[in-house]
Amino acid sequence: MISKTVSRISSACVGLLALAAIASPAYSAEYAIDPTHSFVEFKTQHLGFSWLAGRFNTISGVLNYDPAKSTNDQKIVIEIDTASVDTNHAERDKHLRSADFLDTERFPTAKFVSTGFEGDANGGTLTGDLTLHGVTKSISFDIKKIGEGDDPWGGYRAGFEGSYDLVRKDFDMGYNLGPAAEVVKLDLYIEAIRQ
């Protein structure tokens, strides 16, 4: 009697699992952003004479990506520790962390969450919500795939790059650095490892 009951329960469980597998949509593979091989760099004009360049040293995130699937399945979430800003000058970095710019005590994280992608496996236009300095705006920018494949350690990686011109005033960072420095050019290089 007990064995028949166990057998019925087992059969029911197998049936439910099979039904769930059929009913569940197939999602893109999940990748974790490799923080040691991913970079968010920026530059802005310095008085119209030259460029001031820097980067954020601490980033993380996840990427859902499969070149064989619909572009609607592709998604990326990137988080940036704003206090990790680095322009190779301690006093300038302290100023950038202050309320004049990033205000890292109030807004310790910048975040990008994609909401759409138009293109193919080699690149296209990525759209998403960028939250920076307490302001969230929808932005779009072009990205392209650098490459993908097996790595020497038994993993599988994919790499992408993109760029975006950020207007500081759009994110309530209007500290006057002159008209040449109103736009900050962001360059994004992401390498991610399939989980």
Report the 10 Å Cβ neighbour count for 123: 16
158 closest CA partner among 147, 144, 142: 147
User: 193: pLDDT confidence band, cut at 50, 70 and 90?
Assistant: very high
SS3 133: coil
**Residue 120's pLDDT is what?**
86
What is the Cβ-side half-sphere exposure of residue 130, based on CA atoms within 13 angstroms? 18
Quote the pTM value.
0.83
| Tens digit of each residue's pLDDT (9 = 90 or more) over 85-104 | 999 999 999 999 999 999 99
30, pLDDT greater than 60: yes
Report the chain's terminal Cα–Cα distance, integer Å: 44
Residue 73 DSSP code: G
Contact between residue 50 and residue 71 where contact means Cβ atoms under 8 Å apart: no
Q: Which domains does the chain have, with CATH numbers?
A: 28-194 (2.40.128.110)
